[in-house]
């Protein structure tokens, strides 16, 4: 077994604190990765607090992992020691269902193994995430990272990046489309970057007037305060798509009316409460409300390569692991532009 240092939550009310644990020795198809950076996702906070009711403790969060391969199994073909790599939100899947065979592992029907707070295929080993010094996993669930990408900015692409890239590609959003982005946080700022580069006309909706400048800098064409009723009225029946990135409770009906006939509201944020939808807001204009998860392995690799080619990177604030609890407090307050990334050097 390999000794590993990390930070873990012992229960839903505890702060994250130093935690020593062990990873398995690499098997024939495994790679051992030295974790250098790990992004902080809002869902990390949800899992730490058990907002979804399925957290497993002790828990080492983190699914936006960037690092370097230090050892490979004797059957590994895709990687070698010193390769720069990434690990996203899952580390295994059934590999047999139709979705896995189509490269849509995020929708695995046979049991997706999440990077943390999940059970490996043996049904008893709990996965632990990237707020740690090392990780071991099958090479097929590891992603190649171009040297053109600054490593400290890679992690957020593996969650916030692919979560917004995937629906934009699925709905073939691009030139000529009018896209609203609801929320300008970790997910929202990547949605703006991708949608604008793809050629769409982008409007950002936010509750914070201070974010207008950032919205325009990131590529948005317009900005609307959700509390500005006159502006909201003017935008009625205007958008082809709205990307809803908000993970806090909010009124979906206020935005459904902004969609044109056949418009689609795509939910990628996961609020902890039930959504209340008035049927007439959908029926009267044949609007749709849909959802999208992360991306499968092929699409995530495509996204990483696209970002390297077009120099698309998240805006990050790098912190040492010792500041993790303070970062969580700031994240709750929306005080981050726009993704925290942990530098694991101080834990080695």
pLDDT tens, residue by residue, 308-333:
999 999 999 999 999 999 999 999 88
**CATH top class, domain 2-158+315-347:** alpha beta
Going through 52-119 in order, the beta strands assigned E by DSSP cover 65-72, 84-87, 90-92, 113-114
Q: Where are the domains of the chain?
A: 2-158+315-347, 161-291
pLDDT score for 73: 97
Strands 316-320 and 288-291: unpaired
pTM: 0.95
Query: What's the angle, vertex CA 208, arms to CA 207 and CA 210, rounded to 5?
Result: 160
- Model confidence at 298, pLDDT cuts 50, 70, 90, reads very high
Q: Determine how many CB atoms are found less than 10 A away from the CB of residue 22.
A: 11
Instruction: Report the CATH fold assignment for 161-291.
Output: Rossmann fold (3.40.50)
CA 174 – CA 232 distance, rounded (Å): 23
**Which residue shows structure tokens 């040297």?**
147
pLDDT at 83 > cutoff 90: yes
pLDDT one-digit tens code per residue, 98-112: 999 999 999 999 999
């Amino acid at each position: 077994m390999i000794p590993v240092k990390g930070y873990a939550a012992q229960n839903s009310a505890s702060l994250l604190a130093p935690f020593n644990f062990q990873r398995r020795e690499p098997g024939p198809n495994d790679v051992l990765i030295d974790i250098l950076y790990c992004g902080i996702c809002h869902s990390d906070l949800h899992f730490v607090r058990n907002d979804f009711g399925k957290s497993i403790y002790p828990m080492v969060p983190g699914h936006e992992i960037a690092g370097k391969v230090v050892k490979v199994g004797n059957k590994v073909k895709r990687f070698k020691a010193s390769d720069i790599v990434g690990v996203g939100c899952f580390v295994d899947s059934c590999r047999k269902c139709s979705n896995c065979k189509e490269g849509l592992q995020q929708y695995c029907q046979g049991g997706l193994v999440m990077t943390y707070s999940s059970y490996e295929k043996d049904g008893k080993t709990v996965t632990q995430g990237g707020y740690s010094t090392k990780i071991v996993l099958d090479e097929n669930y590891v992603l190649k990272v171009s040297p053109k990408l600054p490593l400290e900015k890679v992690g957020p692409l593996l969650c916030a990046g692919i979560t917004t890239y995937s629906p934009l590609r699925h709905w073939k959003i691009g030139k000529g489309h009018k896209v609203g982005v609801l929320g300008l946080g970790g997910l929202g700022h990547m949605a703006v970057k991708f949608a604008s580069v793809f050629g769409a006309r982008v409007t950002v909706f936010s509750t914070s007037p201070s974010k207008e400048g950032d919205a325009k800098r990131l590529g948005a064409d317009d900005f609307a305060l959700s509390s500005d009723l006159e502006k909201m009225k003017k935008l009625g029946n205007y958008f082809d798509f709205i990307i809803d990135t908000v993970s806090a409770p909010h009124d979906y009906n206020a935005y459904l009316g902004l969609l044109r006939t056949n418009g689609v509201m795509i939910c990628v944020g996961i609020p902890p409460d039930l959504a209340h939808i008035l049927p007439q807001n959908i029926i009267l204009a044949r609007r749709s409300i849909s959802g999208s998860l992360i991306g499968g392995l092929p699409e995530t690799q495509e996204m990483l390569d696209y970002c390297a080619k077009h120099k698309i990177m998240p805006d990050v604030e790098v912190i040492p692991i010792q500041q993790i609890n303070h970062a969580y407090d700031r994240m709750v307050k929306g005080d981050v532009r726009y993704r925290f990334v942990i530098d694991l050097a101080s834990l080695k």
